[in-house]
Amino acid sequence: MIKKAVVASVLMMLACGSGKAQQTTVAATPPMGWNSWNHFAEKIDDATVRAQADAMVSSGMRDAGYVYINIDDTWEGTRAASGEIQTNQKFPDMKALADYVHGKGLKLGIYSSPGPKTCAGYEGSYGHEEQDAATYAKWGIDYLKYDLCSFDEIMKKAGSPEVAHKLMLEAYTKMHEAIVKTGRPMVFSLCQYGADHVWEWGASVGGNLWRTTDDISDRYDRMSVIGFQQAGLAKFAGPGHWNDPDMLEVGNGKMNVEEYRTHMALWALLAAPLLAGNDLTTMSPETIAILTNREVIAIDQDKLGKQGDRMWAQGSQEIWGRELEGGAMALAIFNRFEWPQTIEMSFVRFGLKDRVKVRDVWAGKDLGTLSGKYAAHVPGHGVVLLRVTQ
């Protein structure tokens, strides 16, 4: 038994290289945390980040599993004469900020681009990859979101799509290797909006997660288009490497409670990273309840790491399923209409036994052992999320 395990792990190391082994240990389940962009955009600074870290603890989010406090674009200053990247005046001391965040039992993430400029026009890492990774490690950074942005210009000059593609892969690999060289584990998040079917090669360039789409916004239409268009990508995700349909908008105010429950449930079915994108210091009880629902988080973080997929759709009605540890299954019955609908499902149709034990997750209620069918009453733009055991 032991011999077998040793042989398996040696084979794995040979197959993957030590960089990949590190990759799996940092994101064995989809990363959970918070990111500054969706709510604060460029209005982010040291004091705000500290306040978010405080609120992540006091709201109970840390205890529910959220770990990363990620600073997105606009922290960057100019480079010193040595080429070393410096923070701008909004972030006077990144090392001190990392110490503060670590002191709360949380981790700190940062953002850069493989291009000369970030999407907001700040300094990118082009030509400074090793130096930047070393600086991040020195500061105590645990997570890097690496956003294509102006690297696009370099790709446009490549002459052919094939060369452009190769340049992009090389740029991501370069930063991955630079991170591995620092010896500090960092989650590596690719952001290039799903170009060139990133799910097919994201893991091969060291990505722990990769954005599959362009940016989300705090609107049901945008969120649902992004979420439901993830159908078919399940086979590309697994422990250490996840599809990323973008950060959460829960609590940002432009969707109603049913729509935010749909957002959270769909992301959990998708084994998506759960990066809250709201202001954690001013959350309503409903927002906290959605973000910290232990049973929804357990679906997202299920150890099998099998992303769910669409199992059935008819017009505005969709049923998505996700296989969970121990033979259980998460079933999400979505109503994409604005008005309520009753959606009926038969268990055997979804590969389940005829008699199953059913729990309504958002209601927090056991529905008992049911036979044959279940008729779900689903609010407009809402979801009924079930955990089914056989």
Residue (213 or 390) nearer to ligand GLA, CB? 213
Please say if 45 is a catalytic residue: no
Residue partners of 163: CB distance under 8 A and separation at least 6:
none
Whether 132 and 125 have beta carbons less than 8 Å apart is answered as: yes
Q: Identify the residue among 73, 129, 249, 259 touching ligand GLA (CB under 6 A).
A: 73
State the number of binding residues for ligand GLA (CB under 6 A).
Answer: 9
Q: Identify the residue among 26, 120, 134, 158 touching ligand GLA (CB under 6 A).
A: 120
Q: Residue 13: what residue type? A: M
Restricting to residues 314-353, name those near ligand GLA by CB under 6 A. none
Alpha carbon 376 to its chain centroid, in Å, reads: 29
CB of 111 to ligand GLA, least distance (A): 6
Q: Which two tokens stand for residue 254?
A: 């432009």
Q: Identify the residue among 61, 191, 255, 268 touching ligand GLA (CB under 6 A).
A: 191
Inter-helix orientation angle 220-228/257-269, to 10°: 20
Q: Which of 73, 147, 300, 302 is catalytic?
A: 147
Q: Identify the residue among 49, 71, 119, 328 touching ligand GLA (CB under 6 A).
A: 119
Residue (187 or 356) nearer to ligand GLA, CB? 187
Stretch that binds ligand GLA, among 115-123, 281-289, 309-317, 381-389 (CB under 6 A): 115-123
Please say if 360 is a catalytic residue: no
Residue 61 has, within 13 A of its CA and on its CB side, a CA count of 30
CB of 212 to ligand GLA, least distance (A): 12
Q: Which two tokens stand for residue 267?
A: 């992301």
Q: Identify the residue among 34, 37, 75, 334 touching ligand GLA (CB under 6 A).
A: 37
- Quick one: how many helices (H) and strands (E) in the chain? 12, 18
Stretch that binds ligand GLA, among 114-122, 126-134, 263-271, 341-349 (CB under 6 A): 114-122
Residue (147 or 318) nearer to ligand GLA, CB? 147
202-240 burial, b at 16+ Cβ within 10 Å, e below that, comes to bbebbbbbbbbbeebebebebbbebbbebeebbebbbbb
Residue partners of 229: CB distance under 8 A and separation at least 6:
213
Is 147 among the residues that bind ligand GLA (CB under 6 A)?
yes
DSSP 8-state symbol, 238: B
Is 123 among the residues that bind ligand GLA (CB under 6 A)?
no
Whether 53 and 36 have beta carbons less than 8 Å apart is answered as: no
305-336 burial, b at 16+ Cβ within 10 Å, e below that, comes to bbbbbbbeeeeebbbbbbbbeeebbbbbbbbb
Stretch that binds ligand GLA, among 2-10, 17-25, 112-120, 332-340 (CB under 6 A): 112-120
Residue (215 or 295) nearer to ligand GLA, CB? 215
Is 76 among the residues that bind ligand GLA (CB under 6 A)?
no
Stretch that binds ligand GLA, among 116-124, 234-242, 360-368, 372-380 (CB under 6 A): 116-124
Residue (215 or 309) nearer to ligand GLA, CB? 215
Residue (119 or 319) nearer to ligand GLA, CB? 119
Restricting to residues 198-237, name those near ligand GLA by CB under 6 A. 215
Tell me the sheet residues that pair with 75: none
End-to-end CA distance of the chain: 30
Q: How far apart are CA 297 and CA 287, in angstroms?
A: 14
CB of 158 to ligand GLA, least distance (A): 21
Residues with catalytic function = 147, 215
Point out which residues bind ligand GLA (CB under 6 A).
37, 72-73, 118-120, 147, 191, 215
